[in-house]
Structure 1
């Protein structure tokens, strides 16, 4: 698998990342092992998790597989902190105290000495941003993290964080931003991607398959074994089961038929090769689903197909983007 630099850093990662959001909940350890094996055999190196996934069980499963399926030094481990659901509700806490406590807990669950890419899971206006970013500095200077990034930040939040970290020698530079990006969600093209490019940040798109909708599985109903039928993900997927999304999915399926590819290969190749993108984060419930995504390494979309998909999925633009 092709390797790319993460933004303007020296860190190289595979141009697809393995997402583990379902590990420890909808994906058991046996399936997780098969996924990690398939990913590594395909040349993948970047594995993304979070302290809040399955209340830490995603990290626990991954930690138990390290050293069994793959050597620690063959992977780039990425995790996130600042969001939890241990109370049953989504709780955001990006205070220095909580972030560093979650980092130490992640290290224990993963059974490693350091995280390769440690990310703030989301922005919160309830905590001074300088305090949040000071946790990134301490993580790097203490050897707990090698690179740091942000996730789900708007453009101004991204720019402020990256600029703040560059403003004083010794601060840990922001290496990347993780945002939702797919043919169904192109809002980040307005300002987030230009900010990331200007500031030299790598972009890690999550849900590059439109929360599974771009696979075409929902064109004629909701399969019983799909995420949309799961109580955990029904609302998560449902926002893209509308008429606009249907038009885009139909276009993807037509393109796939003409190219002799699967719809997910077309959708994934499109986002993988967008300007500024380092590695889409691909999550799968089963190893069979993941293997279907890994075939995209050999896919390169013809320019005319890319332009057609650009046109049918174009986000609305206005002031100031088109001034």
Structure 2
């Protein structure tokens, strides 16, 4: 894969990134290790995780990879702070103390002395200047190389980015991570424009519409799918409604005409969209990953992109 710059920063990331939200529950250790090995061999380097994923299990699995001999320099490790699982409960705390405590625990779990990209998991109740001061502290101590935000809407992104630019000794924000797919295009309203203005790269999570754009749910819910699992059905439910059917059908029709799979078409649309630095994928096995890696040398032609834009919400005003 040809690496891309993350916004205007010096960090280079692969156009596909591995997301680890399902690690530890749906993706067990042996499968996760095989996925990362295949991904790195294909030229990928970005792996995205968070303390909340599996209550820290996903980060521990990354640490096990490094302890098992995977060179640390092979991966750009992106994790988050401000949202954790404590005593089985979800806790959002973006205060300086909580953020730095999250980071220390993440480093310990991942068996590393630094995080390549540390992201504020979501906008919290603490003053944003306090939250961002944790980033500056972590960078100055060498614990973090680059910083970003996650799940921020347009005004939140602009507020954070502007604050960090106000003084020269603050860490500029390199990225914003947000859900973005043919079934979730809200980022085009303000987030993508804000990211472009502030020189931030976009990390698109759930690039396959939480799995709905693979087409596997067109005729029902397979028993072995995430939508059939009690712990994940809520995640798929919003995209299994009738209003999503036209988009899924259009993706499937385009795939048939192009000799691709629906998942590949949906991924290509996101990967090459304006301002996207990397499209995050969450394969559960090597077969799914191999299908997505096959997109490396493929591109969608402009008429197909335009048709998919139209059926999923209208023209993308950020396209040149």
- 1:95 is aligned to 95
Structure-1 separation of matches of 2:21 and 2:138 = 23
Q: How does 1:1-323 map to 2 (within 5 A)?
A: 1-66=1-66, 68=68, 70-124=70-124, 126-314=125-313
Q: Is the 8 A contact 1:36 1:69 kept in 2?
A: no
Per-residue CA deviation, residues 20-65 of structure 1 (Å, 9 max, x unaligned), is 1111221111000110011011100111111111000000011101
Relative to structure 1, is the Cα distance of residues 195 and 144 closer, same or farther in structure 2, using a 3 angstrom cutoff? Answer: same
Structure-2 separation of matches of 1:185 and 1:196 = 17
Between 1:183-192 and 1:68-77, the stretch displaced more is 68-77
Structure-2 separation of matches of 1:7 and 1:40 = 22
Structure-2 separation of matches of 1:224 and 1:207 = 21
- 4+ residue segments displaced more than 4 Å: none
Between 1:239-248 and 1:280-289, the stretch displaced more is 280-289
Q: Is the 8 A contact 1:37 1:69 kept in 2?
A: no
How far did residue 189 of structure 1 move?
0.2
Q: Is the 8 A contact 1:178 1:206 kept in 2?
A: yes
Relative to structure 1, is the Cα distance of residues 68 and 88 closer, same or farther in structure 2, using a 3 angstrom cutoff? Answer: closer
Give the alignment's Cα RMSD to 1 decimal: 1.5
Matched residue SS, 1:85:
strand
Give 5+ residue unaligned stretches, structure 1.
Answer: none
Per-residue CA deviation, residues 227-257 of structure 1 (Å, 9 max, x unaligned), is 1111121111100111221100000000000
How far did residue 213 of structure 1 move?
0.1
Give 5+ residue unaligned stretches, structure 2.
Answer: none
Q: Is the 8 A contact 1:33 1:69 kept in 2?
A: no
Q: Is the 8 A contact 2:67 2:111 kept in 1?
A: no
Structure-2 separation of matches of 1:43 and 1:67 = 21
Relative to structure 1, is the Cα distance of residues 315 and 67 closer, same or farther in structure 2, using a 3 angstrom cutoff? Answer: farther
Relative to structure 1, is the Cα distance of residues 208 and 69 closer, same or farther in structure 2, using a 3 angstrom cutoff? Answer: farther
Aligned residues: 317
